[in-house]
Amino acid sequence: MRPIPLILLLASLLSACATGNDPSRSRQIAQSGALKVHPGLLGQEVPSELQPATPVVAAAETGEKPMRMDEEGLRTQRSVYFDLDQAAIKADYDPILQAHARYLASHPQTRVRIEGHADERGSSGYNERLGLKRAQSVRATLLGHGAGSTQVTVKTWGKRKPKLLGRNEEAWAENRRADVIYEQDAGK
């Protein structure tokens, strides 16, 4: 008879423990009748009563809130957030900027100011330039989607107007942004 290697013995003991009838390891769902599955998961058409009231753009992988694309979304989704030391607009913000640009194109009397911001790290001069680059990136995107050049101006605040005070990643991430400020908006 050959001795059983210690690793095989430990592995069999661990698997026996893991597959035991420990109630904390498994949960059963009480359900009567047939299991109901959302039709969208099955590749089928989703009935209107199961669809969201307004289209929502997927949230950024960083855990940001989803962006609403309705009239309320245009009023509430006015900040574009950036990565550290970056002025490139993330793809997640393109749909909301398209919606703002469409609104501006259909309301030529409306004017917006894009205010660029940076977090507190870095010199004042560096953050002023970075805030300006961020504002210019948002402006260029709005113009590219149909907003008029006279409708969109830019301003930089650098690190002077933080949205969230603090010396941690949460505050810094909230302050790396550009805000769309409606200056003249008779339609809203």
- Of residues 65, 48, 66, the one with CA closest to residue 56: 66
Please check the confidence at residue 133 and state whether its pLDDT lies above 60.
yes
The listed range with the strongest mean pLDDT (34-43, 72-81, 105-114, 179-188) is 105-114
pTM: 0.61
Torsion angle, CA of 156/158/163/168, rounded to 10 degrees?
Answer: 160
Highest CATH level, class, for 79-184: alpha beta
pLDDT above 60 for 106: yes
Q: How far apart are CA 153 and CA 124, in angstroms?
A: 22
Quick: pLDDT tens for 171-182: 999 999 999 999
Residue 161 pLDDT more than 70? yes
**3-state DSSP assignment of residue 20:** coil
Domain positions in the chain are 79-184
- Tell me the pLDDT tens digit for each residue of 37-60: 555 555 566 565 555 543 434 444
- Alpha-carbon dihedral 83, 121, 76, 51, rounded to 10 degrees: 30
Residue 87's pLDDT band (boundaries 50, 70, 90)? very high
Query: Checking DSSP bridges between strand 152-158 and strand 111-117, what pairing results, if any?
Result: parallel
Give residue 31's pLDDT: 45
In this prediction, residue 53 carries a pLDDT of: 43
Give the contacts of 178 (CB within 8 A, at least 6 positions apart). 79, 80, 82, 114, 115, 116, 117, 131, 134, 135, 137, 138
Q: Using CB atoms within 10 A of its CB, is residue 181 exposed (0-12), middle (13-18) or buried (19+)?
A: middle
